[in-house]
Amino acid sequence: MKKAKIYKPSKTAMQSGKRNTKNWILEFDTLNTGVNPLTGWETSKDTMSEIRLEFEKKEEAINYAKKNNIDYYIIDPQESKIIKKSYTDNFLK
C-alpha cells in the first residue's frame, strides 16, 4: 500500500483568513512522476495521489488510515509566534 501524509494545511500567503486551516488532510504521496512528451507537463499514472480526504480531528484521520491498512506519517503544524508590539516601539529603538 502507498504512504499517506496526515497534516493540517497552513494559511495561504495571499489571504489573512484561516478558514481552510481547521481540518486535517490525509493525502497520498505521488509516485512515478515524469514529463509527458506530448505536452511537456509533469505527469503521473498514479491516481491515488489525487485523493484528498478531510477530517475534523487528527485522531479521525489516524483511525481511518489504520482501519484501511494505509501506511502514514504525520506532519504536525507549526504554531505561529505572535509578537505584541506597540506603535511607540518603532521610535524607542
Q: Which residue has the higher pLDDT, 71 or 45?
A: 71
Average pLDDT over every residue of 35-39 = 85
Q: Where along the chain do its domains lie?
A: 3-10+21-92
Contact 56/45 with Cβ under 8 angstroms?
Answer: no
pLDDT confidence of residue 61? 95
Q: How many CB atoms lie within 10 A of CB 65?
A: 20
Look up the CATH architecture of domain 3-10+21-92.
2-Layer Sandwich (3.30)
With H, G, I as helix, E, B as strand and everything else as coil, classify residue 86.
coil
User: What is the β-pairing status of strands 24-28 and 33-35?
Assistant: unpaired
Average pLDDT over every residue of 32-41 = 83
Q: What percent of the chain has pLDDT over 90?
A: 39
Contact 6/25 with Cβ under 8 angstroms?
Answer: yes
- pLDDT above 80 (res 46): no
- pLDDT above 80 (res 1): no
- pLDDT above 70 (res 83): yes
